[in-house]
Amino acid sequence: MEPTDLVDAGPPTVHLLCGLNGAGKTTYARQLAEARGAIRFSLDEWLLMLHPGTRYDAPEYDALAERGKLLIWDVAGQVLALGHDVILDWNSWSRARRATWTGRARAAGYEVMLHHVVAPLDVAIARAEQRAAADVAGAHRLDAAAVRHLAALFEAPTADEGLPIVVVGDTND
């Protein structure tokens, strides 16, 4: 499915993303933002700009990330109130995380759509390693071991979560 297939004139929607690290979530989020006229909020970009050099595996990362998400959500709420979709470009990699952000969005009166960006593990590893080697701004540096570790924690979404799920990418791994 292409991001342009999702354009409609409905109420503002909160778009959540999930998938392996290196699957292509941010690339897809950029395409989706352009197709829908949505505003994309990248947690990695915000955190690395506010806290340069912070690593995803640093002891303080979880607290910084949670504060960053709340700050982003405050701004995203203003964008939604103006009638625009928002894309929360961070990995809603677990059922619990998806439930948290779905609950917040629905409590504020907005629709939620989950985009599951799929890529085979070897492709995700190669992309993450290329990104790290290129020193891409606003992205964490992940090696193969980190991607494998995070992949073991990933919980693929299921229909019983009560969310519309758009599956994007290579589903034949």
- Calculate the CA 55 to chain-centre distance: 17
- Listed range (8-12, 46-50, 89-93, 111-115) with the worst mean pLDDT: 8-12
Q: Quickly state the pLDDT bin for 8 (edges 50, 70, 90).
A: low
**Residue 2: what pLDDT?**
60
Domain boundaries, the chain: 11-169
Assess whether pLDDT exceeds 50 at residue 169: yes
**Model confidence, pTM:** 0.88
Q: For a pLDDT cut of 90, what percent of the chain falls above it?
A: 69
Strands 39-42 and 111-118: unpaired
Tell me what the pLDDT averaged over the chain comes to.
90
Mean pLDDT on 32-58: 91
Start-end of H helices in the chain: 25-36, 43-50, 61-81, 95-107, 121-134, 144-153
Assess whether pLDDT exceeds 60 at residue 120: yes
Q: Which fold would CATH assign to domain 11-169?
A: Rossmann fold (3.40.50)
